[in-house]
Amino acid sequence: MSARQPGFSLLEGLLALAVGLMLLAAASQVFVSAVQAWRLQGVVAQLQEDARLALQRMAQDIRMAGMFGCLRLDDDSFEDPAAASAFATPLLITQGGQRLSLIVGQLPGSGSRPEWTVLTDCRSWVQVKAGVQPGDQQTLALPVSRVTYTLRAARLQREARGTPQPLIDNVLSLHATRVPMAAGERVDVRLVLFDRHHAIEQHHAISVALRNRLPAP
């Protein structure tokens, strides 16, 4: 009778190889799932951040709508009838809520060139002139511009002085609504973002109280 040979038989080797391949496949599956989950979380977080930044920018402009200085404007305050018409509708929602146009007072340091400047002594006179106008110790100069938010080809754009600037992509819908309240008004803005590659849809909304009394729509 021959002595038993030490080591693995061919069958044992094949079995060990099969088990190893199964473990490797399972580990690979776990790794792929982890990578996909990580990517998905990144997409979700990016969409949320994009929506937050866009809504914050829109809210800032909405709050500044109709901020034209310390005196009431009338027809004699304007050199250009077109400017008077624009100032008469400082907040305009069209295209079923998908287009929001605002006439806003610019914050200091905004860096953009205004369409108009409101000049006033805050006591007896006020005048609206085109472009940039300087003030002095007796005259307050308030820069004012028109900004428009629109949705084009899944991209939310902010347009100023006829130049559109992209804010965020992957926008499925934009809807703005002017809502009366017991004291004043507010604007509700809703954004729906969608990532086609991962089939992720997010709904975001913000309500902004109007700081200035605006003409009725």
**pLDDT digit string, tens, across residues 143-162:** 999 999 999 999 999 999 88
Which whole number is the average pLDDT over 164-178?
A: 96
pLDDT at 31: 67
Q: Taking a C-beta distance cutoff of 8 angstroms, is the pair 206, 55 a contact?
A: yes
**85 SS3 class:** helix
pLDDT at 44: 87
Residue 12 is assigned to a structural domain of this protein = no
**125 SS3 class:** coil
Residue 129 is assigned to a structural domain of this protein = no
Q: Taking a C-beta distance cutoff of 8 angstroms, is the pair 82, 146 a contact?
A: no
Residue 119, Ramachandran bin (φ over 0: left; ψ between -120 and 50: alpha; else beta)? beta
pLDDT at 5 over 70: no
pLDDT at 30 over 90: no
Residue 135 is assigned to a structural domain of this protein = no
Distance between CA atoms of residues 178 and 151, nearest Å:
18
Residue 42 is assigned to a structural domain of this protein = yes
User: Vertex 203, ends 199 and 209: CA angle to 5°?
Assistant: 160
Residue 177 is assigned to a structural domain of this protein = yes
Range of the domain at 103: 28-68+91-108+144-210
pLDDT at 82 over 60: yes
pLDDT at 4 over 60: no
pLDDT at 18: 74
pLDDT at 111 over 70: no
**Phi and psi at residue 50, in whole multiples of 5°?**
-60, -45
Cα atoms found within 13 Å of the Cα of residue 90, Cβ hemisphere only: 22
Average pLDDT, the chain: 88
Q: What's the pTM?
A: 0.80
pLDDT at 199: 87
Residue 150 is assigned to a structural domain of this protein = yes
pLDDT at 1 over 70: no
Total of domains in the chain: 1
Residue 120 is assigned to a structural domain of this protein = no
Q: Taking a C-beta distance cutoff of 8 angstroms, is the pair 57, 157 a contact?
A: no
Residue 4 is assigned to a structural domain of this protein = no
